[in-house]
């Protein structure tokens, strides 16, 4: 057997949405299925990498050959990612909620007839990609995703520097594309050396190509 290209390399992948509690029974979330992140974790493992997948709540199974840490909230995801450092590559695919409820209620918020409707005060969540991209233990290769509904390319370029990422995988998640929660993806690979448009592919195929790109970049 020839050695696999990522044998001896450590990878951290985030995947899925986060659930930010409102009270013990309610939460804020998004439409992420975890399919793309899980496929990337599996593809890196298939090339021999030692993969830690930090996953938000998803309904798909744990990928084969990968260490999976299940979390709910963004702060838990950040803690799990930082605990998994150092690594050679980080691929932050999770659709982390940008905001959480500032003070989630300890008990279920009750509906009382005639009383005013509650309002939710939000506060910013930690940016996990940005934290990893600027960390003293920054992986050699840091890859982020950019789910946008407009100005996909310019938003992705701006994100490279702001987040301290080497590559931003940009996709248009406008409802008409069916990408968010779907099985296919159409991405652009944005890096300081330019932009590469990939065709419409199954998320597994996007993952295979991305893993090959990771192996290529880590070889240099």
Please identify, using beta-carbon distances, which residue of 82 and 109 lies nearer to ligand C5P.
82
Whether residue 127 is annotated as binding a ligand: the answer is: yes
Which residues are the active-site residues? 30
User: Is 129 annotated among the ligand-binding residues?
Assistant: yes
| Interacting residue with ligand C5P among 6, 53, 55, 145 (CB under 6 A) | 145
Query: What's the N-to-C CA distance of the chain in angstroms?
Result: 23
| Contact set for ligand C5P, span 69-88 (CB under 6 A) | 74
The Cα 213–Cα 210 span in angstroms is: 5
Residue in 124, 122, 73 with CA at minimum distance from that of residue 94: 73
Stretch that binds ligand C5P, among 52-60, 61-69, 110-118, 142-150 (CB under 6 A): 142-150
Does 144 help bind ligand C5P (rule: CB under 6 A)?
Answer: yes
Say whether residue 96 binds ligand C5P (CB under 6 A): yes
Q: Is 98 annotated as a binding residue?
A: yes
Cα torsion angle, 39, 42, 46, 50, sign: positive
The reply to whether 187 sits near ligand C5P by the rule CB under 6 A is no
* Residues 27-46 close enough to bind ligand C5P by CB under 6 A: none
Residue 128 is a binding residue for ligand C5P (CB under 6 A): yes
37: CB partners within 8 A, 6+ apart: 13, 14, 15, 16, 53, 55, 91, 93, 94
Nearest to 51 by CA among 211, 219, 218: 211
CB of 37 to ligand C5P, least distance (A): 8
Place of tokens 């370029």: 157
Toward ligand C5P, which CB reaches closer, 5 or 99?
A: 99
Annotated binding-site residue? 128? yes
What's the CA gap between 41 and 108, in Å, rounded?
A: 36
Question: DSSP 3-state assignment of 90?
Answer: strand
Nearer to ligand C5P, 127 or 204 (CB): 127
Please state the closest distance from residue 129 (CB atom) to ligand C5P, in A.
4
Cβ–Cβ under 8 Å, residues 154 and 195? no
**Are 131 and 66 spatial neighbours (Cβ–Cβ below 8 Å)?**
no
Helix axes 35-46, 203-219, angle to 10 degrees: 50
**Binding interface with ligand C5P (CB under 6 A):** 14, 74, 92-94, 96, 98, 125-129, 144-146, 159
Binding site, by residue number, is 98, 108, 126-129, 145, 159, 163
């Amino acid at each position: 057997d020839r050695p696999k290209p990522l044998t001896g390399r450590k990878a951290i992948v985030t995947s899925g949405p986060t659930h930010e509690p409102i009270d013990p029974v309610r939460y804020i979330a998004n439409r992420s299925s975890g399919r793309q992140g899980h496929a990337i974790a599996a593809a890196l493992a298939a090339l021999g990498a030692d993969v830690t997948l930090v996953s938000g709540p998803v309904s798909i199974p744990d990928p084969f050959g990968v260490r999976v840490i299940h979390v709910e909230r963004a702060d838990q995801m950040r803690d799990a990612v930082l605990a998994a450092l150092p690594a050679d590559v980080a691929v932050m695919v999770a659709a982390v909620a940008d905001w959480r409820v500032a003070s989630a209620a300890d008990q279920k918020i009750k509906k009382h007839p005639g009383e005013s409707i509650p309002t939710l005060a939000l506060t910013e969540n930690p940016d996990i990609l940005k934290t990893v991209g600027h960390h003293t233990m920054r992986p050699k290769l840091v890859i982020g995703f950019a789910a946008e509904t407009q100005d996909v390319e310019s938003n992705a370029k701006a994100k490279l520097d702001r987040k301290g990422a080497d590559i931003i995988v940009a996709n248009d998640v406008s409802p008409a594309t069916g990408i968010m929660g779907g099985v296919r993806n159409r991405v652009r690979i944005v890096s300081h050396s330019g932009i590469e448009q990939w065709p419409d592919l199954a998320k597994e195929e996007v993952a295979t190509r991305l893993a090959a790109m990771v192996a290529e970049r880590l070889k240099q």
